[in-house]
Amino acid sequence: MHRLVLAALLALTGAGAPVTAQPIDYAAERAAIGRYQDADQRLQDVGWQLAAANAPYCPRVVPGIGLQLQDMASYGVPAIARAALGLTRDFAVQTAARGSPAARAGVFTRNREIVRLERFDPNHWPAGSAMDWQRLVKAHDHVEAMLTEHGGITIGFADGAEARVQPVPVCATRFELMGEGRKAVADGSRVVIGMGFPAFDYPEEEVFAALVAHELAHNVLGHDAWLDRNGRSARNVRRIEREADRLVPWLLANAGYDPAAAVTFMTRWGSAHDAGLKLRRTHEGWDERAEAMAAELPAVRAWLTAEGQADWAQQFRREINPAESAARTGRR
Ligand SMILES: [Zn+2]
């Protein structure tokens, strides 16, 4: 539902195309993929910084190296994507998140072809003919399994070089960029953000980070599972939205961002999209949401000054009882 779909690739090869073959503009395809990769880099950099810095407080932590792969099978027309990027196989480096073990290794350059993840060559795994995103998930799952079982992974490149990378603990959330759409969602294990989300255009990294932190907050506070157990009433959604908003300054502060960027984000995004928000009973007005975020700042700053970190696992006041499970009413 949210996987990589590049408009340029579809426009050139879609069902509406004339039967006579059009020449493929590979430079345009490469540029479109490049824009997607730039946006993904921005998301992975910010996501990594938040997930690594807040690992001491997250309820579930996994070993991570900050490496994002790409698989040509996930494109609408893999052969075009492969040719546009000059690849002979399907797997290559997408991003190495800034400051991550993968980035520090210095060898995971964009589009560098990968032929080995520990003992397996993922290019040999079967894939569908187009839009197959499952194989990329399998590759990332495999990397995580190797890190968990062996405390590291050896990754081989098509040119014969290889690198051994050791992980660090990160909050158990994966960050995924959707090739289209303006939505941002958190499903418990992933944060998925559409390339069209307005915050991608915000120049300040910390203001974009506030959006990512809001979605990460839903996962680390267990909101999706809580809503599953207690129902997605407008009242319940308002409560978890408020709780996610209020955690944003804490997550930002630990990651080295100005916690007040939370308020800047909500004010800028909310005032630009106010009309749409007012129609939704599940969300408070953006001004109330910005106020709730601002109200956290004194505590966050006090903990930063005293401890150098803002321990939200201990100090954050919850809006919900995370263990709560509504009695069955028979209504659902
Ligand atoms: Zn939310």
Q: Regarding beta strands 190-194 and 174-178, do their DSSP bridges make them parallel or antiparallel, or are they unpaired? A: parallel
For residue 243, report the distance from its CA to the centre of ligand 1, in Å.
9
Which of the listed residues 136, 171, 206 is the one where a domain comes to its end? Answer: 171
Q: How many angstroms separate the alpha carbon of residue 269 from the centre of ligand 1?
A: 13
Residue type, 100: S
Residue 180 has what pLDDT?
Answer: 85
Residues 306 and 212 reside in one and the same domain: yes
The proportion of the chain whose per-residue pLDDT surpasses 90, expressed as a percent, equals: 82
In a domain, 16, yes or no: no
The reply to whether 283 and 294 lie within a common domain is yes
CATH number at residue 74: 2.30.42.10
Residue 179 confidence (pLDDT): 87
pLDDT over 60 (residue 11): no
187 with 147, same domain: the answer is no
Six token digits for residue 279: 């129609």
214 CA from centroid of ligand 1 (Å): 6
191 and 167 together in one domain: no
Question: By percentage, how much of the chain surpasses pLDDT 70?
Answer: 89
Alpha helices (H) in the chain, listed in sequence order: 7-13, 26-53, 78-85, 101-105, 134-150, 205-220, 223-230, 234-254, 261-272, 274-278, 286-294, 297-307, 312-315
Distance 283 CA to ligand 1 centre (A): 9
Residues with CB under 5 A from ligand 1 (ion): 241, 244
Higher pLDDT, 179 or 42: 42
**283 within 8 A of 293, measured Cβ to Cβ:** no
- Pair 293, 257 in one domain: yes
CA of 211 from ligand 1 middle (Å) equals 9
- Owning domain of residue 268: 174-315
Q: pLDDT-based confidence at 275, cuts 50/70/90?
A: low
Ligand 1 centroid to 199 CA: how many Å?
14
Q: How remote is the CA of residue 216 from the centroid of ligand 1, in Å?
A: 9
How sure is the predictor about 22, in pLDDT bands with cuts at 50, 70 and 90?
confident
Distance (angstroms) between ligand 1 centre and the Cα of 67 equals 26
3-state secondary structure (DSSP) of residue 93? strand
Question: Quick one: 98 and 117 in the same domain?
Answer: yes
How many angstroms separate the alpha carbon of residue 308 from the centre of ligand 1?
A: 27
Cα 220 to averaged position of ligand 1 atoms, centre (Å)? 12
- Indicate whether 160 belongs to any domain: yes
Residue 100 inside a domain? The answer is: yes
Q: What are phi and psi of 235, to 5 degrees?
A: -65, -45
Give the pLDDT band of residue 7 (cuts 50, 70, 90). Answer: very low
pLDDT digits (tens, 9 = 90+) for 206-262: 999 999 999 999 999 999 999 999 999 999 999 999 999 999 999 999 999 999 999
User: 250 and 161, same structural domain?
Assistant: no
User: Does residue 332 carry a pLDDT above 90?
Assistant: no
Cα 285 to ligand 1 centre (Å): 13
Residues 167 and 194 in one domain: no
pLDDT given at position 330: 41
Which whole number is the average pLDDT over 295-313?
98
Q: Is the pLDDT of residue 149 over 80?
A: yes
E strands, 57-183, where?
61-64, 67-71, 91-96, 114-117, 153-157, 162-165, 168-171, 174-178
CA distance 113 to 93: 7
pLDDT confidence band for 326 (50 / 70 / 90):
confident
**Total structural domains within the chain:** 2
Q: What is the mean pLDDT of residues 155-163?
A: 98
Q: Same domain for 181 and 308?
A: yes
Compute the average pLDDT of residues 295-305: 98
196 and 151 within one domain: no
* Alpha carbon of 133 to ligand 1 centroid (Å): 25
Distance (Å) from CA 290 to ligand 1 centroid = 13
